């Protein structure tokens, strides 16, 4: 019998703790914690994510500064905005929602976010620190996965973990976090040969591929922990993950659902990072 990992419940519990931290910060230092969100263009998925991030800020007592730029915004307009936020003392964290519209250079924009305000953990410096297992701001989705595994009491040390997907946002930092937690990690991707055999060796599978129901029951070892980072639409237009949940679940010891698994933890970790950035700015 599998156990469903309730990301919503974990997220709610963590958000209560974060809200207490935010209130205490305000009491101690006499100012709000601020998160700047930069959204360029009108990508419909991004719109939903940004709306949810701003709502989560409100609920946690974090002040949000939302900047909506049209898809026609130029590289220098976006860069000037980020540069002004970089030196704004009321802004503890800066988030540039990705993807940026075609024609804009995201790397150049992200490189203008000071490392201590990089609450997405996407900067080269934060990723480098993560690789070296040094304290840093960690990308929200993979960090949320780690939190959820820890809160469930799932052992990672010495386990075989397989991460499917090698994006800078999820796959790579996920692999690093699992490695830092003493797992033996394999990263698979679209060119991997023998994917099924590799997955079958895994005690922990993290699916971050972006293809609906790609991970099937024949790829999963009996008793494995399966974490689904995917957010797709199936043939009926229904929200689904990268894992064929209905068929995979009975092989698992633990599995995350979509929706209600990893998703709620991602925004929670954004709040967590924003509080951490504010605390670090006063030397905590």
The residue from 92, 116, 118, 120 that contacts ligand GUN (CB under 6 A) is 120
Task: For ligand GUN, give the closer residue by CB, 141 or 203.
Answer: 141
User: What does the per-residue mask of binding to ligand GUN show for 36-75, with x meaning CB under 6 A?
Assistant: ----------------------------------------
Q: Is residue 240 a contact point for ligand GUN (CB under 6 A)?
A: no
The single residue among 54, 78, 94, 95 that binds ligand GUN, judged by CB under 6 A, is 95
Edge-to-edge strands, sheet with 224-228: 3-4, 252-255, 224-228, 204-207, 160-164, 184-188
Beta bridge partners of 38: 67, 96
168-187 binders of ligand GUN (CB under 6 A)? 169
Q: Is 98 in the site for ligand GUN (CB under 6 A)?
A: yes
CB of 97 to ligand GUN, least distance (A): 5
107 vs 160: CA distance, rounded Å: 33
Question: Counting contacts by CB under 6 A, is residue 96 touching ligand GUN?
Answer: yes
Give residues in contact with ligand GUN (CB under 6 A).
95-98, 120, 140-141, 169
Q: Which residues are catalytic?
A: 53, 97, 120
């Amino acid at each position: 019998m599998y156990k469903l990992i309730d990301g919503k419940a974990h997220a709610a519990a963590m958000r209560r703790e974060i809200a207490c931290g935010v209130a205490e910060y305000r009491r101690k230092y006499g100012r709000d914690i601020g998160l700047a969100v930069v959204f360029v263009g009108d990508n419909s998925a991004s719109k939903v994510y940004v709306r949810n991030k701003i709502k989560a800020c409100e609920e946690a007592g974090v002040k949000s500064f939302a900047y909506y730029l049209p898809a026609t915004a130029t590289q220098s307009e976006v860069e000037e905005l980020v540069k002004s936020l970089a030196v704004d003392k009321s802004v503890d964290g800066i988030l540039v929602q990705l993807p940026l519209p075609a024609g804009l250079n995201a790397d150049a924009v992200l490189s203008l976010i000071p490392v201590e305000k990089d609450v997405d953990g996407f900067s080269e410096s934060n990723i480098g620190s993560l690789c070296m297992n040094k304290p840093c701001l960690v990308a929200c989705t993979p960090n949320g996965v780690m939190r959820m595994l820890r809160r469930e009491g799932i052992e990672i040390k010495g386990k075989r973990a397989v991460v499917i997907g090698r994006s800078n946002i999820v796959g790579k930092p996920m692999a690093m976090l699992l490695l830092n937690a003493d797992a033996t990690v394999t990263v698979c991707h679209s060119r991997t040969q023998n994917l099924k055999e590799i997955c079958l060796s895994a005690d922990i599978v993290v699916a971050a591929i972006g293809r609906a129901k790609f991970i099937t029951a024949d790829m999963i070892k009996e008793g494995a922990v399966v974490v689904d980072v995917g957010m797709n639409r199936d043939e009926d237009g229904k929200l689904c993950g990268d894992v064929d949940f209905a068929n995979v679940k009975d092989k698992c010891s633990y599995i995350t659902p979509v929706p209600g698994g990893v998703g709620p933890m991602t925004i929670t970790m954004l709040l967590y990072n924003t509080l951490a950035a504010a605390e670090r700015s006063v030397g905590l």
